[in-house]
Amino acid sequence: MIVFFFDRTLEGLLTAVFDAYNRKMFPDKLLAEGDIVPMFTTKEYIVITQEEKATRVWTALEKKMSKGACNMLANAWLAEEEEKNDLLFRFIRKTIDSRVSIETNFGDDDVLQLHRLAKKVSHEELYLKQFVRFQKAADDIYFAPVSPVHNALPLAIEHFKDRFADQKWVIYDIKRHYGYYYDLHTVVEMTLDDDEHLLSGKLDEKLMAEDEKLFQELWKGYFKSMTIKERINLKLQRQHMPKRFWKYLTEKQ
């Protein structure tokens, strides 16, 4: 068994593809640096990420695939499933080796699985756009904690930049401990030194703006007054609004 170790970045994966062709040695398994070496490993290789190599591989893929397929590949990279790295490597290798496009060859299990993986990430992106709820902090910055199943937050940021262009906001992924801050001009990635208090999905009252709690109570009152108890269907609610998002929704507190 041949094992490649890389830094778990997309650039690292693309560099691994470049090195595999350059060395004429293709891995059976891609692992992160520091992972345990599997039994029966015959060769190990540590990939040193290089932007130039990664760019050359991506440029080659752009020539072999449509823009939609490139976006699908980028989306699938954001998925968080155990076999993702090996799947992407196999797909990229098949794409490079094939004389014709394989992006819609659903008879190939790797192509089918990649489409399914990208679709899962796209669903998480849509859920973020639908169910993110901002809370106004004392410094007049609107804050929203999230924890999607897959790392889909980068895909949704442009939507929020356009939709809420007139206010400062932070959207923070408490599962992956990073987020984005918008200052009315640009969006920058950020991290918080202490984000444990955000696990409840709600800002501490000491950090809220004076009128935020009032707005939340008004919204919950409106939601309650509009609800017809006899027509409550929790099963249907869970179908259209996954329960894992409920703790972030003021009306479901």
Structural domain spans, the chain: 2-123, 132-252
The answer to whether 28 and 54 have CB atoms below 8 angstroms apart is no
The answer to whether 53 and 27 have CB atoms below 8 angstroms apart is no
Beta strands 43-46 and 135-136 are unpaired
Place of tokens 């968080």: 80
Model confidence, pTM: 0.84
Q: How confident is the model at residue 205 (pLDDT cuts 50, 70, 90)?
A: low
Provide the pLDDT for residue 89: 97
Provide the pLDDT for residue 199: 65
Token pair in block for residue 107: 């008879």
Provide the pLDDT for residue 222: 61
Between 152 and 203, name the one with better pLDDT.
152
C-alpha pair distances (Å), 4 with each of 19, 25, 197, 216, 220: 10, 10, 38, 51, 53
Q: What percent of the chain has pLDDT over 90?
A: 63
Instruction: State yes or no: pLDDT of 137 exceeds 90.
Output: no
The answer to whether 170 and 157 have CB atoms below 8 angstroms apart is no
Between 117 and 210, name the one with better pLDDT.
117
